[in-house]
Amino acid sequence: MEKILQVKDLELSFHTFAGEVKAIRGVSFDLNKGETLAIVGESGSGKSVTTKSIMRLLPESSSEFKNGEILFNGNDLTKLSDKQMQKIRGKEISMIFQDPMTSLNPTMTIGKQVMEPILKHQKVSKTKAKEVGIELLRMVGIPNAENRFKMYPHQFSGGQRQRIVIAIALACNPKVLIADEPTTALDVTIQAQILELMKDIQKKVDTSIIFITHDLGVVANVADRVAVMYGGRIVEVGTVDEIFYNPQHPYTWGLLSSMPSMDLAEEKLYAIPGTPPDLLNPPIGDAFALRSEYALKIDMEQAPPMFKVSDTHYAATWLLHPNAPQVDPPKTIIERMKTFRGSRYYEQANGGDA
Amino acid sequence: MAENPYTLFLLKGNKVKVCKCFHFEKKLIIQFDINQTHVLWRCNVVKYIGKRLVYMFLTMFLIATATFFLMQTLPGSPIASYNKLNETQRAIVEKKYGIDKPKPVQYAIYMKNLAKGDLGTSFVFKGKSVNDLLASRVKPSFILGAQAMVFGTIIGILLGMLAALKQNTIWDYGSTFFAILGVSIPSFVFASLLQYWVASQWHLLPVGLWNDGWKSSILPSIALAMGPLALSARFIRTEMIEVLSSDYITLAKAKGANGFEIAFKHALRNALIPLVTVLGPVAAGIVTGSLVVEQIFAIPGIGEQFVSSIMTNDFATIMGTTLFFSALLIFIIFIVDLLYGIIDPRIRLSGGKG
């Protein structure tokens, strides 16, 4: 599969009055052509920062790339000048933001805002740009687009505004679309519509999507692959099925267990104990160890490398080390694993038939 | 029998009081448009302007009445050698100027003339009507004021933008320092410094008077401009910093907009909104002439005229000038309210059917 975007050992810090905050501590992932990669994790895990650093939208004065590279079209995005980045932003890589109520300019007609990237990146006349803009608005499902071209953001509902933001992001057929929690600020019925729209559009324009969210329900709905982030690192990455039905990292177990489920109604809803690590003084070993009941001694001393589970599935936990003791994941996770061909519980459960 | 709730809404809910702008109410008409599935808010602009004009007329009437009676309480008499005249002489002079009649009658006569647009005859300048007097004095004041406003606001806005865009750098500190100087140095000190250096030492421009065409207006305009300049710089800096950190600016960056486009196309208009409010009254004050600056540069303007008319109890001129100032202020406030709508579409009054 063709790799569109490669992030390698990315490390990024923020300089604050309190000191250096190591927000991203060695993140690597690839984005394949036409796929949707979901990045999940709790607040402060570094998922937004990772994508904003791909777009180079973090304040230059306080953030600093410490190490690593972001390869796109043969260029390392961390090394490009601002001018060069301006040619990539909105054209090759574009972004959808969390809150549609604040992400459109209140004093500019939506038509102008949709036309802006077209006029900026493509050598077309204003009339042509307007045509394209109206077409885009129609595609994202704004009824009566021609008449509403001259309207201002406050004349649209939240869901419609998010559709407009999506239209802006798609204006130049970007190769990569970054969606930073695009449904978090919307109510559930609209969420479903927006997700549907994004899936639709991906089929039409064949773009790769990085989808940031903390909502695992959304992940199951849209993603091909999932990367789980914790404490500025990716702790587990795999296909949706692998993450949902054969998770290996205790943090992923925690995340999945804290998801309300219809099937296991009698259980009390699980919550991961403790708080996320302080990235001002990141822990030495596994950042999750202090909150994990499966922590090993080595977790306190050394950060685990990525262990291979399958060709597409990797997890950073010492539990996968050959010398590690075999532990049983929480009950709900075992239930999940029973349905996954290739997990040890699957074989146990169906041993007789095999 | 209960009414159909939808009929109820359309019939009774279509007039909703929404906001108060100064002391004037805007009646907004809510229109329910089933085709567009959203509620359109429309103000009836003609009705609004009509209503404002009535209020403006009432305000002027009250000001005229109040000034007329307050003026009667001024010590002294318009007749310079009042004490040296005998009874008969006084009676003749008072009759000539119409101040022998009872106050309510004088008031009625004045208001009658005012309605015709006649401000009366000056007591001091023989036989000259106040209308002519004002007309001859207004021009220099207006030129100075307009130049100062335009120059001051433009430079102030640019300084404020510079400070905000380069926040916490030498540019920011420099322009903030300059703005503070502008506020704290009284205009007469600044005017005298300009006169001394630019005019007297370097012989670049005339020291004063109004006889050298446009050249005469430069120094007093600069002296007058310091106030609005400092004010705009401070306001724009604060507003810009807030606007620049908003989501829609990030979105504009994500579209690939460059620094110039972000500052002027996206941020400035949003940052201007609060400035417009404070600039209105400042503009009125400045356009109607600064007493001190006009005095220092010996400009035959309206400000100077106003003070001398008070000194000499020139009733007709005091009334005329006060009314002129008031009318101007009221008019500018009206313009500011209309400007609001132009700058910020969210408070726009659009011509509706209602």
Q: What is the pTM of this model?
A: 0.77
Out of B248, B265, B344, closest to residue A102 by CB: B248
- Do residue B254 and residue A155 have CB atoms under 8 angstroms apart? no
* Residue A217 pLDDT: 84
- B254 contact A CB<8A: yes
* Burial of A133 per CB tally in 10 Å (0-12, 13-18, 19+): buried
Q: Indicate if the pLDDT at residue A71 is higher than 90.
A: yes
CA distances for B313 relative to A221, B101, B124, B272, angstroms: 84, 17, 9, 42
- A107 contact B CB<8A: yes
Least confident of A243-247, B153-157, B191-195: B191-195
Sheet strands (E) in A33-79: 36-40, 63-72, 75-76
* Residue B30 pLDDT: 35
| Average pLDDT of span B51-66 | 91
The separation between CA B130 and the C-alpha centre of its own chain, rounded to angstroms, equals 22
Out of B248, B258, B346, closest to residue A86 by CB: B258
According to DSSP, the β-strands at A176-180 and A93-96 are parallel
Out of A55, A95, A107, closest to residue B345 by CB: A107
| Structural fold of domain A1-92+172-354 | Rossmann fold (3.40.50)
Q: B200 by DSSP, 3-state: which?
A: helix
Out of B40, B247, B344, closest to residue A107 by CB: B344
Q: Residues B312-349: pLDDT tens digits?
A: 778 888 888 888 888 888 888 888 888 877 777 776 64
Task: List the 231-250 stretch of B: residues with Cβ below 8 A of A.
Answer: 246-248, 250
List chain A residues with CB under 8 Å of B266: 105, 108
Name the minimum distance, in Å, from the CA of B19 to any CA of chain A.
Answer: 16
| Average pLDDT of span A260-277 | 75
Selected for mutation to probe chain B from A107, A144, A147, A164 (highest B CB count within 10 Å) is A107
Sketch the domain layout of chain B as residue ranges. 130-313
Report for A256-260, B173-177, B283-287: range of highest mean pLDDT: B173-177
- A69 contact B CB<8A: no
* Residue A38 pLDDT: 94
List chain A residues with CB under 8 Å of B255: 89-90, 94, 116-117, 120, 168
List chain B residues with CB under 8 Å of A95: 251, 254
Name the minimum distance, in Å, from the CA of A105 to any CA of chain B.
Answer: 5
Q: Which residue has the higher pLDDT, B337 or B241?
A: B241
Least confident of A328-342, B37-51, B304-318: B37-51
Residue percentage of chain A with pLDDT more than 90 = 33
* Residue A267 pLDDT: 64
Binning pLDDT at 50, 70 and 90, where does residue B10 land? very low
CA gap B61, B66 in Å, rounded = 9
* Residue A322 pLDDT: 86
Token digits of residue A239: 């296909």
- Do residue B255 and residue A143 have CB atoms under 8 angstroms apart? no
Sheet strands (E) in A249-316: 307-308, 314-315
- Do residue A88 and residue B270 have CB atoms under 8 angstroms apart? no
Q: B133 by DSSP, 3-state: which?
A: helix
Residues β-bridged to residue A94: A177
Sketch the domain layout of chain A as residue ranges. 1-92+172-354
As a whole number, the mean pLDDT across chain A is 87
Token digits of residue A44: 């402060």
- Residue in chain B closest to A121 (alpha carbons) equals B256
| Average pLDDT of span B274-282 | 82
- Residue in chain A closest to B270 (alpha carbons) equals A107
Listed in sequence order, the residues at least 6 apart from A232 whose beta carbon sits closer than 8 Å to its beta carbon are A22, A23, A24, A25, A26, A27, A45, A46, A279, A282, A287
| Structural fold of domain B130-313 | MetI-like fold (1.10.3720)
Q: Tell me which DSSP letter residue B270 carries.
A: H
Q: Indicate if the pLDDT at residue B43 is higher than 60.
A: no
Out of A94, A105, A144, closest to residue B36 by CB: A144
Binning pLDDT at 50, 70 and 90, where does residue A208 land? very high
Out of A108, A117, A165, closest to residue B256 by CB: A117
Q: What are phi and psi of B151, to 5 degrees?
A: -60, -50
The separation between CA B164 and the C-alpha centre of its own chain, rounded to angstroms, equals 27
Count of H-run helices and E-run strands, chain A: 12, 12
Q: Residues A130-169: pLDDT tens digits?
A: 999 999 998 888 888 888 998 999 889 888 999 999 999 9
B170-200: buried (b, 16+ CB within 10 Å) or exposed (e) per residue? eebeebbebbeebeeeebeebbeebbeebbe
Q: Residues B249-266: pLDDT tens digits?
A: 999 999 888 888 888 988
- Do residue B270 and residue A107 have CB atoms under 8 angstroms apart? yes
Size of the A and B interface in Cβ pairs below 8 Å: 82
| Average pLDDT of span A63-85 | 89
- Do residue A152 and residue B346 have CB atoms under 8 angstroms apart? yes
- Residue in chain B closest to A99 (alpha carbons) equals B247
